Amino acid sequence: MSRRALSALVAVLVVGCSGGRDKTLADLQSARPEVRALAVKRLAERFEAEDVSLFSQLARDPVSIVRAEAMTALGKTQDSRIVDLLGEGLADPDEQVQQAAAAALASFKTDKARSYLTLQYSRRGRTTRMAIVQALKGTNIPGAMASVVVAEAKAIWDRNMKVLNDGSLPERIGAAEELGRSGRPEAVNRLVPLLKDKHVGLAAAAARGLGLARDPRAAPAVTALLDENYPELREAACEALGRLGETSALPKLLAVAQEKSPTSPFATRAILALPRSPEVDKALCSLVVSANDAEVLSTGRELRKRGGCPVEPIIELLKSPATVNAGLLAIIALAPRGELVPKVGALTTASDEQTRRLAIEALAELNDPAGAAFVQKAWDAELKSLEPRRLDWIPAELPTTYADGFDPTQAPSPDDPFAVARARTSELFGRVQQLDAQRAKEAGKTLLEARAPREILDDAAEDEVRVLASILRALGKLKVEGAKVHGQAFVRETSPSLRGAAYSALAFLGEDARPGLFDAERSVQGTTAQALAESGPKGQLVVLQAISELAGDRTRLIDPLRGLKLPPEAAPKLEQLAKEGGSEAGASAVLLGEMDSKSSIPVLLALLDDQEAVARRDVLHALGRLGDPRAADAIGRDLYSDSAEVRSAAARALAQLKVPAQLEAIDALKGDYDLQVRNSATAAVEALAPDAPEGKR
């Protein structure tokens, strides 16, 4: 037993055994907070009328546990004069005090006490909101949670309307979006006229708000914004139309996506967000052969899931020098089936460097063994063309230590006035590096180290070796003879493109590409991780192992794993990553849900216990997907969250669990301010209600 716990126990025994009020009052002067809190609790048990003043003073004590006990004691007094003080306690910085104040107010069956509870519900966090609802239930208010949810919605609406009418311009911009979140018809009526406001920022905010409102009546007015000249307005319109899901805007969105302007990516995302239909798929297929490179690749990935596109228009593009690159890019994005290898292979000898590179990458994506011969020929030709420049490369290992007299960490020369400053700076950075290394070692992590250059490229710039890098990657993916030797020879190149391609080739061949995940260049890490993820379960486990060992940002490693169903052996690594928190915790939770790892439920539930967890929404999504009824209580607590996104996710997760225990709280959220929450709650009630159809339950 700790010394603090022993002291607290002794204090209880002393107070209990002596029974002396004087001793209890004396304990209130103790410097030990736990002794003072116990004294307050004992005085409350033996309440006397004159103690009300004492408890009121203690309600403002600097120590939170003393204030909490004072709130509880005040509730036992039943003195109506202290209701205001308990109302102040609901706004205390400490949640424990807030909860004690809520419980104390429950003992006062007055309208004033209920008003304090209702008012503070919208201002408090999850735990206090739960305590407030329980307190209101204790005052025999029917539909306690529904009443505070409706009151919160009204307060938010009134505040946003007031700000929109009377606030400053930045405040009005924020209020316009928040009004849209309500999804109310009157919000749409208020926001549509603002689309023509002279302030572009406010008009754009109104457009985004209309998208959040998801009212199809707003679609024509928002679509008209695509004809504006202001990029901010057009981008907001694209975002809103994607949320509205109105296919009537498809022709306009397609035209914007094909104009290759800064707004085009937003229009492409909007089309991808529209409900799937033959018209939408046809529009996306036309984008694959006409949009910017980035939009082509993102659109192609989605179309692969939808079954691809007709190959004939792509073949037509390959026939013209003006459109051949667009056709090759479409093949890279879609990897269509058909007799394309001969046509693409013939382009690997084109005079245009970009055409050659795209042709090689297209052969790699087609992944047809017939393309190996074309790739091998391209490899030989590219090496020969680079040979004059390779003569300027230094093939020997360069030194990794300083020569005598050049080491900045050595004692400075008295004749050099700047040497002392340089030495101190070098020493400072050295200490920082030592501390980082020590922390990483204690945490079992690996720090990235910049590699010493092996070769120097004087004449061949990074852009000039991109074709060679593409060929090297294709050699591995198509498993061309000799690819392993070539890959191993280029893993130590100075060029990040060549190193990344070499590691990718080794990954596709099933060889050791793990060092690429620890390369100091983020681009090499990402390229290697992508190849390992595509290579299959074994490569995916290698990536996860590296993620668990690396310190710092690991986003480039985990992104290639998204959307994949990982092998069961991945669960422990993902669980560890989730426990570490940070930006990767959410992705780990989602992956655990997608791989149906029911053994990971305790880890995910532990994350929900942490109210500061940034990945709460993703964890709720994963728990809902795993479908274990034991998680219902933990998920149910997030129905009281102060975040609308979390409340919505909790309602959806409970619907997936098919446990009606939280039905009352979910039903109360049908009056929530946020449209997304109301929709999730309505769907959950329909799925969980006893008389719901079997298909919905």
Per-residue pLDDT reduced to its tens digit, 424-457:
676 676 676 667 666 656 556 665 656 555 444 4
pLDDT (mean) for 315-323: 91
Q: What pLDDT is attached to residue 393?
A: 53
The whole-number average pLDDT for the span 490-507 is 91
Distance CA 446, CA 439 (A): 10
**DSSP, residue by residue, 39-72:** HHHHHHHT--TTHHHHHHHHTT-SSHHHHHHHHH
pLDDT of residue 138: 83
Q: In whole angstroms, what is the distance from residue 189 CA to residue 202 CA?
A: 15
The ranges assigned to domains in the chain are 1-46, 54-141, 340-398+452-511
Would you place residue 169 in the very low, low, confident or very high pLDDT band (cuts 50, 70, 90)?
very high
Give me the pLDDT at residue 544, please.
92
6 pLDDT more than 60: no
User: pLDDT per residue over 337-389, tens digit each?
Assistant: 878 999 999 999 999 999 999 999 999 999 999 999 999 999 999 888 877 76
| φ/ψ (deg, to 5) at 103 | -65, -35
Residue 567: predicted pLDDT: 92
pLDDT at 694: 45
Angle between helices 372-390 and 353-366 (to 10 degrees): 140
Give residue 409's pLDDT band: very low, low, confident or very high (50, 70, 90).
low
| pLDDT for residue 288 is more than 50 | yes
Percentage with pLDDT > 70 across the chain: 86
- CATH class belonging to 54-141: mainly alpha
Least confident of 3-17, 115-129, 400-414: 3-17
Task: Supply the pLDDT for residue 11.
Answer: 44
Greatest mean pLDDT range, 137-146, 371-380, 398-407: 371-380
- Mean pLDDT is highest, among 10-14, 394-398, 692-696, for 394-398
Mean pLDDT for 409-418 is: 60
Query: How far out from the chain centre does Cα 669 lie?
Result: 25
SS3 labels along 330-368? HHHHHCCCCCCHHHHHHHHHCCCHHHHHHHHHHHHHHCC
Backbone phi, then psi, for 140, in 5-degree steps? 65, 35
Give every CB contact of residue 469 below 8 A, 6+ residues apart in sequence.
Answer: 495, 497, 498, 500, 501
pLDDT band at 206 (very low <50, low <70, confident <90, very high): very high
Q: Which of 4-18, 171-185, 205-219, 538-552 bottoms out in mean pLDDT, i.e. has the lowest?
A: 4-18
**DSSP run (H or E) holding 86:** helix 83-89
Confidence band of 415 (pLDDT split at 50, 70, 90): low
Residue 18, pLDDT score: 43
Least confident residue range of 79-83, 200-204, 243-247 = 79-83
pLDDT at 411: 58
Q: Tell me if 291 sits within 8 A of 300, measured CB to CB.
A: no
What pLDDT score does 3 carry?
A: 42
Helix 466-477 and helix 372-390, axial crossing angle in degrees, nearest 10: 150
* Residue 158 CB contacts under 8 Å (≥ 6 apart), including other chains: none
127 has a pLDDT exceeding 60: yes
Q: What is the pLDDT of residue 41?
A: 86
Confidence bin at 35 (pLDDT 50/70/90): confident
User: Which residues lie across from 550 on neighbouring strands?
Assistant: 446
- Give mean pLDDT, residues 26-43: 81
Mean pLDDT calculated for residue range 545-556: 84
Per-position b or e across 8-42, b if 16+ CB within 10 A of its CB: beebeeebeeeeeeeebeebbeeeebbbbbbbbbb
In the predicted structure, residue 221 carries a pLDDT above the cut 60 = yes
Task: Output the average pLDDT for the chain.
Answer: 86
How large is the average pLDDT for residues 624-635? 92
Check pLDDT > 50 for residue 21. Answer: yes
- Find out whether 625 and 656 touch, Cβ atoms under 8 Å: yes
Residue 342 vs residues 289, 359, 603, 645, 684: alpha-carbon distances, Å: 20, 11, 52, 51, 54
Segment (H or E) for 441 = helix 419-442
Q: What is the mean pLDDT of residues 479-498?
A: 90
Instruction: Collect all residues with Cβ–Cβ distance below 8 Å to 17 and sequence separation of at least 6.
Output: none
The percent of residues above 90 in pLDDT, for the chain, comes to 58
* Model confidence at 213: pLDDT above 60: yes
SS3 672: coil
Single out the residue of 291, 289, 271 nearest to residue 281, CA to CA.
Answer: 271
